Amino acid sequence: MKNGKRPTLQQKKLMRSHGLAPENWLVVKNTQEFLEVVSRTSLKKIGGKPKIRKLARE
């Protein structure tokens, strides 16, 4: 997995519309169809897979 980046204002608006708190998520992939984000807290945990979500764009 690549390094997550801080979300831009437009990405934050999309996250809020999907019910996510933008301060708890990092952007991994940004395409025309979806926005892939990973949880900051799951990256800090030792072992296990990080929590990843794909948010569809309208």
Domain boundaries, the chain: 9-56
- Cα separation, 32 vs 57, in Å, equals 7
Contact 39, 55 (CB under 8 A): no
Contact 28, 2 (CB under 8 A): yes
In this prediction the pTM is 0.88
- The H or E element spanning position 41 is helix 40-44
Q: Over the stretch 9-37, which tens digit does the pLDDT of each residue have?
A: 999 999 999 999 999 999 999 999 999 99
